[in-house]
Amino acid sequence: MTPVHELAGATAPIWMWTSPQEVESAALDQLRTIAELPYVHHHVAVMPDVHLGKGATVGSVIALRDAVSPAAVGVDIGCGMAALRTNLTAADLPDDLGPVRAAVEAAIPVGHRGHTEISRRVRGYADLWGTFGDLHPKVTGRSGSIDRVMAQMGSLGSGNHFVELCLDTEDAVWLMLHSGSRNIGKTLAELHIAAAKKLPHNTGLRDRDLSVFLAGTPEMAAYRADLTWAQTYARRNRDTMLALYVDALRDHLPTLRVPTPPTHGPHAADTAFAAVNCHHNYVAEEHHYGADVLVTRKGAISARAGEYGIIPGSMGTRSYIVRGLGSAESFHSAAHGAGRRMSRTRARKEFTTDDLVAQTTGVECRKDPGVLDEIPAAYKDIDAVIAHQSDLVDVAAELRAVLCVKG
C-alpha cells in the first residue's frame, strides 16, 4: 500500500498521496485553510496531481457535513473526460494526420466559439432545455441566453481542454477528450460563489472564497439545482463531442466503429472499459466514515472498486485508463491528471515554440505560441502521479497521443 503523508499544522487531518515537499507552499497553505472549515468530515484527501487553485486546491477531495463550498467544485462544473476504444489499429491510420486534425477542428468549435447552427442532436436534449428556465435568474433573464448555451453544446473550450487520437500498448486506436460545462457552468459557479460570500455564517472564514451553503437553506437548494443541471450539461457536452468526433473521422477512416458510450452512471460499458465518461469537478452525495456527506472532487475522479476512470497526461505524454480499488482513505477517489507544476505565465516565459516542437514530436497538433502554456514540461510527470496512487487505482490501459486538438 502506498504510504499516505499527513500534512502538519492542520486543524483537521490532511492525508496526501504525494510528499508535501513536492507541493508548492501556497497550495499547502490553502489545504490548511480548507481543513479549518468546521464542516469537514474526518479528513481532507489530497491527490498526487495537487496544485494551487481558486479558493480550493486542485486535486482535493473534501467531505462536508450538511454544507457545500462552490469553490471546492470549481468554476468548470462537471469538467471531465471521455474515451472510446475503437475497432481500428495504428495500421489503419494515414501517414499524414494533418487532414484528420483539420476535420476534427472543423467539426468541434474550440476556444470561445460555439456552433453556428444548433443541430438536431442538441435539440434532442429536451429534458435539459425544458428546465433551463429554472436556473439562476441572472442567467435565464438574459435575452437569447438559452440559444448561446445550446450553441456551445458540443464545443471544446480552451485552456487544458483537448481532443486526442491515441494508441494503446497493443496499437488499438482510442478517441479521448476533455471538457466541461462551458460558459454556462462558469457563470453559474461564479454567481453562487458570490452569493455564498455574502452569507453571515461565512464572515469568520480566513478565505471567503471557501464560503459554504448550509443544508436546509434556500441558497443551498438553489445551488444544488443549478449544479446538477450544469453537471448534466457537461456530460452531454462530452457525449455530443464524441459523436461529432466520430462523424468527422469517418470521412478519413470509413471502417471506424465505436461502442455506444454509457449515457448514465459512472461505470464503463460491458465491453471491458471500451467507453468511459467521468467527471472530475463535481459534487456527489456519499457515505463515508459513518456519515452521509457531500463530497466535492475538484480535480479528482471517483475510483470505487471496479469503477473505470481516465487520468490524462499532457500533450506528448502518456494517459491512463484506470480501474478503481475503492480506497476508503481517499474517499474512493484518484487523481484527475498530471496536474500543473507551473503557472501558464511562467510556462510562456520559460519555454519557446522550439521546446514545444521538441516535446510534442510524433504528435499531430498545434505547435505555436497560442498553446505554449500547455507544453508537457509545464505539467507534473504523469508516471510519477500514477505511481503515487497504486493503492487507489490499477492501470487498465496506457495510451499515447498521435493527434491532439487544443482550444
Phi/psi at 359 (nearest 5 deg)? -80, -10
Annotated binding site: 76, 160-164, 178, 280-281, 312-315, 319, 336-339, 406
Inter-residue contact 363 to 404 (CB < 8 Å): yes
Active-site residue, selected from the candidate residues 5, 288, 336, 388: 336
Phi/psi at 230 (nearest 5 deg)? -65, -35
Query: Cell numbers 448514465 correspond to what residue?
Result: 264
CA distances from 340 to 25, 57, 177, 297, 374 (A): 14, 12, 18, 17, 9
Question: Which residues pair with residue 405 across a beta bridge?
Answer: 163
Of 190, 224, 177, 209, give the one whose Cα is nearest residue 55: 209
Active site residue 336: yes
Residue 243's SS3 state is: helix
Neighbours of 217 (CB within 10 A): 14
R_g (Cα) of the chain, nearest Å: 20
Annotated binding site for GMP: 160-164, 280-281, 312-315, 319, 336-339, 406
Q: The whole model's pTM is what?
A: 0.94
H or E stretch covering 310: strand 308-311
Annotated binding site for Mn(2+): 76, 161, 178, 280
Cα separation, 229 vs 212, in Å, equals: 19
Q: Give per-10-residue mean pLDDT for the chain (407 aa).
A: 80 96 95 97 97 94 98 96 95 97 97 91 93 96 91 95 97 97 97 97 95 98 98 96 94 89 41 76 97 98 96 94 97 96 95 97 96 96 96 96 94
Residues in the chain: 407
Domain 5-341+379-406: assigned CATH number: 3.90.1860.10
